[in-house]
């Protein structure tokens, strides 16, 4: 039975891969400095990760939403091994957005040496980068120590990036002039990337809207449309709820951004949710074994399960439309309030969002109407 489940799992993944093969990709890699002084940076990232996901979902290539893949490394942490240049891969390229959130919220800081060239080179060599020049491949590295530290030259890493068509954008946590002086600007311009400076200790500012509470109400209903299956179905469903809690603990606005991401095209869970699995492969229900059924499905016929999935699928689509409609009104409200504000500050999330669209358009993605 275990062999049958593993075969089914591989089949689902292969179907999913083939179904997505013609989609443009956005391969987004984030390199976090996790030395002692970077707690503020991590808090900003936790607050902005879902806004970044939503920014990618606004991109289009010939009218189609691109497929988002995220990878993550941390560097400069004393707990890491010197032989690995204090570099650690947290995530290989994944479309599992709950896992991205889980890994991000698990990061902790500890003093160490920050080797920017080494972490960039490691990510370039380790990850399976797309060979298609029409895919957006971009690294964001954030930190506050000189960019030229360590045994690997950032210029060599930059040369390697250009051979792969990868853009390096840098986010210096400190004053602009210091970022220029310590080579963070050069680390970006050498591959055609963007250089930003931010105050990593600044608390992220949010604008509450009249739509936030209603969007959160829809989230409870949205979670109810997930029909888990397989050996990890129950666990993955509980992790979904846990990442809701993580977002909610940051702020109501972060929670709303996560809900909008869950209602978007890049939030898919076909490896544990039957609604998404059937959308990928309509014949998957015929292959389910009794062992793969969770308690809510045990004892039900294939036809019963088919009807449950169809009902939940319809309900989910309706909820996504409602959330999407509310979010358009929410974004319009935020845009109007932002115009009235005299305070314009950058944080980790706004730095990433600012550059994603311009680089996408530069390689042929659809021009945005948001100017």
Q: Residue 25 pairs with which residues in a beta bridge?
A: 67
* Residue 295 DSSP SS3: coil
Split at pLDDT 50, 70, 90, the class of 371 is very low
Number of Cβ within 10 Å of residue 20's Cβ equals 13
Split at pLDDT 50, 70, 90, the class of 18 is very low
The full length of the chain comes to 371
pTM: 0.89
Output the pLDDT for position 202: 86
Inform me whether the pLDDT recorded for 355 exceeds 50: yes
Q: What's the half-sphere exposure (Cβ side, CA atoms, 13 Å) at 308? A: 18
Inform me whether the pLDDT recorded for 115 exceeds 90: yes
Distance CA 67, CA 211 (A): 28
Inform me whether the pLDDT recorded for 123 exceeds 70: yes
Distance CA 21, CA 223 (A): 28
Contacts of 169 (CB under 8 A, 6+ apart): 138, 139, 140, 141, 188, 193, 194, 195, 196, 351, 352, 355
Q: 288-291, long-range: CB within 8 Å, 24+ apart, which pairs? A: 288/8, 288/229, 289/1, 289/4, 289/5, 289/8, 291/1, 291/2, 291/4, 291/5
Output the pLDDT for position 286: 87
Report the percentage of the chain scoring pLDDT > 70.
92
CB 127 within 8 A of CB 92: yes
Return the higher-pLDDT residue of 351 and 48: 48
Q: pLDDT tens for residues 173-219? A: 999 999 999 999 999 999 999 999 999 888 888 899 999 999 999 99
Output the pLDDT for position 340: 84
294-308, 315-329, 357-371: least confident range: 357-371
Tokens 């659809």 belong to residue: 366
Copy the structure tokens of residue 234.
Answer: 């129950």
Element housing 5 (H / E): helix 2-19
Copy the structure tokens of residue 89.
Answer: 């891969």
Q: pLDDT tens for residues 63-75? A: 999 999 999 999 9
Write down the H helix ranges in 58-175. Answer: 97-106, 116-126, 154-163
Contacts of 31 (CB under 8 A, 6+ apart): 72, 73, 74, 75, 116, 119, 120, 123, 139, 140, 141, 142
Inform me whether the pLDDT recorded for 4 exceeds 80: no
Distance CA 37, CA 111 (A): 8
CB 220 within 8 A of CB 322: no
For each of the domains in the chain, give its residue range(s) and CATH number, in order of start: 22-202+345-362 (3.40.50.410), 212-340 (no CATH)
Count helices and strands in the chain by DSSP H and E runs: 14, 6
Copy the structure tokens of residue 231.
Answer: 């050996």
Split at pLDDT 50, 70, 90, the class of 345 is low
CB 276 within 8 A of CB 270: yes
């Amino acid at each position: 039975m275990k062999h049958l489940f593993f075969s089914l799992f591989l089949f689902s993944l292969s179907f999913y891969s083939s179904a997505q093969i013609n989609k443009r990709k956005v391969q987004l890699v984030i390199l976090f400095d996790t030395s002692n002084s970077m707690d503020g940076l991590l808090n900003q990232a936790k607050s902005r990760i879902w806004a970044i996901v939503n920014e990618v979902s606004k991109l289009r290539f010939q009218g189609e939403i691109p497929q988002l893949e995220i990878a993550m490394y941390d560097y400069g942490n004393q707990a890491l091994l010197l032989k690995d240049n204090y570099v650690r891969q947290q995530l290989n390229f994944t479309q599992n957005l709950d896992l991205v959130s889980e890994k991000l919220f698990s990061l902790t800081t500890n003093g160490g040496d920050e080797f920017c060239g080494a972490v960039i080179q490691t990510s370039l060599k380790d990850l399976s980068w797309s060979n298609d020049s029409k895919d957006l491949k971009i690294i964001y590295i954030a930190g506050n120590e000189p960019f030229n530290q360590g045994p690997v030259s950032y210029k060599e890493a930059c040369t390697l990036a250009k051979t792969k068509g990868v853009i390096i954008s840098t986010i210096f946590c400190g004053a602009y002039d210091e970022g220029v002086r310590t080579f963070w600007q050069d680390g970006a311009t050498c591959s055609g990337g963007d250089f930003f400076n931010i105050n990593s200790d600044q608390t992220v500012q949010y604008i509450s809207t009249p739509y936030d509470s209603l969007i959160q109400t829809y989230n409870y209903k949205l979670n109810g449309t997930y029909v888990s299956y397989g050996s990890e179905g129950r666990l993955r469903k509980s992790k979904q709820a846990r990442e809701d809690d993580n977002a909610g603990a940051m702020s109501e606005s972060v929670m709303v951004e996560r809900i909008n991401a869950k209602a978007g095209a890049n939030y898919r869970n076909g490896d544990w949710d039957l609604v998404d699995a059937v959308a990928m492969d309509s014949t998957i229900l015929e292959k389910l074994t009794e062992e793969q059924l969770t308690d809510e499905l045990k004892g039900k016929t294939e036809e019963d399960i088919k009807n449950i999935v169809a009902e939940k699928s319809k309900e989910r689509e309706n909820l996504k439309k409602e959330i999407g409609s509310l979010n358009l009104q929410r974004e319009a409200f935020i845009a109007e309030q932002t115009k009235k504000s005299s305070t314009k500050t950058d944080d980790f999330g706004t730095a990433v969002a600012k550059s994603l669209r311009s680089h996408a358009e530069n390689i042929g993605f659809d021009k945005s109407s948001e100017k």
